[in-house]
A and B are shown apart, each in its own frame.
Chain A
Amino acid sequence: MNPEIISTTTEEYKELIESLKKDGFEMMVDLTVVDWFRKKEPRFEIVVQFLSTSKNSRKTVKVFVNDEDLTIPSITEIYPSANFYEREAYDMFGIVFEDHPDLTRILMPDDWEGHPLRKNYGSGRIPVQFKNAPKVD
């Protein structure tokens, strides 16, 4: 099944989601981010998948976030299932969801620095065995 793709802007994003909910898309099934580092401007694209069980159809909403503040309104009020997904996006990409009730890291430890799924975050090795081991380049 090919979902219908809707591109929007951060300003119209929340209104669009509200209209989708009214349209009978009961479930927000997935929210994720694609980092187009040095490939596209602006850099981060948010991809949200919606599912309507009554109409048996899917829709994909794509929205680019401003590079300066990386902020987008949260949709947890409309779809509570966005809670964990937005926290994951914050944790992994550093996207700030405005008005999210509890925007904390979800998978990484609280004092982790950086956002692991960004393209400029190396997947390198962390020398865990030796305390205070010198940095390996």
Chain B
Amino acid sequence: MKNNKIKKSKLSNFKNKLDFWATNSEEGGWNISSTDEGSQKMLENENEKQIKIQTGTEVVDDFVIDEDTSDDERMIVNMGPQHPSTHGVLRLQAELEGEVVRRVKPIIGYLHTGMEKTGEELNYFQGPTNTTRMDYLSPLFNELVFSLTTEKLIGIEVPKRAETIRILMTELNRVSSHLVALATGGMDIGALSMMIFGFRERELILNFFEKTTGLRMNHNYIRPGGVAADLPDGWQKDVEEILKIIPEKLKDYDDMLLDNPIWKGRLQNVGILTTEECFAYGVTGPSLRASGYSWDLRKSQPYSGIENYEFDVPILTEGDVFARWRVKVLEIFESLKIIEQAMNNMPKGPYKVQDKKITPPPRKRLDESMEALIHHFKIYTEGFKVPEGDAYVAVESPRGELGCYIVSDGSAKPYRMHVRGPSFCNLQALPVIMTDSPIADAVAAIASLDPVIGDVDR
């Protein structure tokens, strides 16, 4: 009887306070009875600083509409999180004055899955399975940056063949990622055939990925110490087909869009980002190059032996949405050059580092060798230990600088794993682009920044 009473009182306590507590936790939980409606809300009246950050500091915009309107015409509208042109679950709150956007605040977190926390609980061997799910359009870059950071902490170098396979696969990934950016960007502006075209050509590359890694997305192919598997038989044939078909199709896109008056009218002189604004808001990648600044980590801080390849970095000076679209098209051509060189110069040899502490032994060795069995068991249960220290490594992902910061405490799991997603940083420039321009250009502006919400929220 007594027990029952205690139980009841416990439950009633529970109902009023935090409904759900994270178990085995000293702190934390979430009161589910209140919703997150209106969280991070843009307010009618905010102080000067808040307004400054929502309009972007020192905006020098091309397109300023100054009409005399009364305060009654100002209203705050909500866009998203479920909206086809926000590329995922991005929510925007915008203060409109007639058709003109005066303030805008991106609200994120709808896809937050705590991947950095998860990363602290997986060992280095399992790590790429987690990071690959961040930026789901360029998963191989996430695996690459995690592997490079781990290798830097251990201090090993991967074999030449592994490096070349990494370059080949990531550059193919860049092509497929840019094709999606072109496709969805076209769709947002109304060029619906562009969407079909982009996804059709991406299919070619995804089929090759499926053949090589077993999956179309979230490959877990690039791992610390090399790559998971060698390239399949006859891979040259597939890559040659990709190299043949994609330039032809890109020409089709140009025929359709490059001199198209509607396309130009919608994109040219819209959403200009200057180089200074890019620096201030940490915008990297194609958006920075479209503003006339030559900066590519593949050239300036090369990784994985990419300094041995010949390619150009396309630069455009306009800095508008059209330039950002064009830079992506030109980058596909450059990536195809790298892919061709990687294919022709593929070295022979092992595709994993020959260190038994890091690379698990091949399956057939387990029946023959006791040591192989021990190494296999050790790696799959504990993982390998990484010396104490911290490292930050950055690579040039299709969206900009993708960095990974790992702190190791000498155990088999990272003490802290942080990924610097380019989309997260680039999204901060959205208020700068959108402020004082018509609401119709907002969609074009979002599409040109090409944010991937998995990378923003992690």
Co-complex (A, B): yes
Main secondary structure of the interface of A (DSSP, over half): loop
Residues from chain A with a CB closer than 8 A to the CB of B311 are none
Chain A residues with Cβ under 8 A from B293's Cβ?
A: 53
In the complex, chain B residues 404-436 whose Cβ is within 8 Å of any chain A Cβ: 405, 407, 409, 415-416, 418, 420, 424-425, 427-428
Kindly state whether residue A127 has any CB partner on chain B within 8 Å.
yes
A107-B112 contact given A83-B428, A113-B27, A136-B23, CB 8 Å threshold: yes
Is the C-beta of A22 less than 8 angstroms from some C-beta in chain B? Answer: no
One of B47-55, B241-249, B367-375, B441-449 contacting the partner: B47-55
Q: Contacting A106 at CB < 8 Å: which of B14, B28, B50, B108?
A: B108
Chain-A contact segment, one of B29-37, B76-84, B342-350, B355-363: B29-37
Q: Which residues of B contact A137 (CB under 8 A)?
A: 23-24
Complex: how many Å from CA A70 to CA B18? 25
Is the CB–CB distance between A114 and B39 below 8 Å?
Answer: no
Bound form: Cα–Cα A18–B392 in Å: 22
CA distance A88 to B112 in the complex (A): 12
Task: Report the separation of the CA atoms of residues A80 and B53 in the bound assembly, to the nearest whole angstrom.
Answer: 8
User: Across the interface, do A126 and B20 meet the contact criterion of CB distance under 8 Å?
Assistant: yes
Interface-centre pick from A49, A105, A113 (highest chain B CB count, 10 A) = A113
**Segment of B131-139, B210-218, B274-282, B330-338 in the binding face:** B274-282
Chain A residues, Cβ within 8 Å of B49: 101-102
Does B25 count as interface, using CB distance less than 8 angstroms?
yes
Contact A81 B392 (CB under 8 A): no
Contacts of A35 in B (CB 8 A): 416
Separation of A131 and B284 alpha carbons in the complex (Å): 44
Give the residues in chain A near B27, CB-CB below 8 Å: 113-115, 118, 120-121
Q: How far is the CA of A123 from the CA of B34 in the complex (A)?
A: 22
Q: In the complex, which residue of chain B has the Cβ closest to the Cβ of A133?
A: B20
**In the bound complex, CA of A64 to CA of B247 (Å):** 52
Contacts between the two chains (Cβ within 8 Å), count? 171
Residues from chain A with a CB closer than 8 A to the CB of B284 are 27, 29
Q: B274 to nearest A CB, angstroms?
A: 13
Distance between Cα atoms of A22 and B198 in the complex (Å): 44
Docked complex: B142-163 residues within 8 A CB-CB of A: none
Name the distance in Å between A10's Cβ and chain B's nearest Cβ: 20
User: Are A114 and B28 in contact (CB-based, < 8 A)?
Assistant: yes
CA A99 – CA B21 in complex, angstroms? 32
A-side contacts of B116, CB under 8 Å = 92, 117
A132 to B18, CA, bound (A): 10
Judge whether A12 is part of the interface by a CB distance below 8 angstroms.
no
Residues of B within 8 A of A83 (CB): 53, 428
Q: Which residues of A are found within 8 Å of B268, using beta-carbon distances?
A: none
Nearest chain-A residue to B293 (Cβ)?
A: A53
Neighbouring A residues of B112 by C-beta, 8 Å: 107-108
Determine if A116 and B114 form an interchain contact, defined as CB atoms under 8 angstroms apart.
yes
**B30 in contact with A109 (CB, 8 Å):** yes
Report B-chain residues with C-beta under 8 Å of the C-beta of A124: 22-25
Residue from A56, A80, A107, A121 in contact with B301 in the complex, judged by beta carbons closer than 8 Å: A56
B424's contact among A84, A108, A112, A126, by CB below 8 Å, is which?
A84
Report how far A56 CA is from B108 CA in the complex, Å. Answer: 32
- Complex Cα distance, B63 from A92, in Å, reads 38
Q: For chain A residues 1-52, which have a beta carbon within 8 Å of chain B?
A: 1, 3, 26-30, 32, 34-35, 39, 47, 49, 51
The closest CB in chain A to the CB of B407 belongs to A34
Contacts of A121 in B (CB 8 A): 22, 25-28
Compute how far the CA of A51 lies from the CA of B296 in the bound complex, rounded to whole angstroms.
13
| Interface check B11, CB cutoff 8 A | yes
Q: Cβ of A105 and Cβ of B40 under 8 Å apart?
A: yes
Q: Name the B residues within 8 Å of A1 (CB-CB).
A: 301
Contact between A80 and B57 (Cβ–Cβ < 8 Å)? yes
CA distance A84 to B390 in the complex (A): 23
Contact B280 A79 (CB under 8 A): yes
Task: Determine which of A110, A126, A132 lies in contact with B15 in the assembled complex, contact meaning CB atoms within 8 Å.
Answer: A132
Q: Once bound together, how far apart are the Cα atoms of A120 and B27, in whole Å?
A: 7
B401 within 8 Å of A by Cβ?
yes
Residues of B near A32 (CB, < 8 A) are 405, 416, 418, 420
Task: Provide the bound-state CA to CA distance between A51 and B285, in Å.
Answer: 14
Q: How far is it, in angstroms, between the C-alpha of A81 and the C-alpha of B276 when the chains are bound?
A: 12
In the assembled complex, the CB of A54 is this many whole angstroms from the nearest CB of chain B, namely: 10
A104 CB-CB contact with B under 8 Å: yes
In the complex, which residues of chain A have a beta carbon less than 8 angstroms from the beta carbon of B428? 80-81, 83-84
Q: Known A-B contacts: A80-B57, A121-B27, A132-B15. Give 6 more (CB < 8 A).
A: A34-B416, A49-B392, A60-B392, A84-B424, A102-B49, A128-B20
Q: 11 A-B contacts, Cβ less than 8 Å apart?
A: A29-B420, A30-B418, A49-B403, A58-B392, A60-B392, A108-B109, A111-B31, A112-B30, A113-B27, A131-B32, A132-B14
Chain B interface (Cβ within 8 Å of chain A)?
A: 10-11, 14-15, 18-32, 34, 36, 38-40, 47, 49-50, 52-53, 57, 108-109, 112, 114, 116-118, 120-121, 279-282, 284, 293, 295, 300-301, 390, 392, 394, 401, 403, 405, 407, 409, 415-416, 418, 420, 424-425, 427-428, 457-458
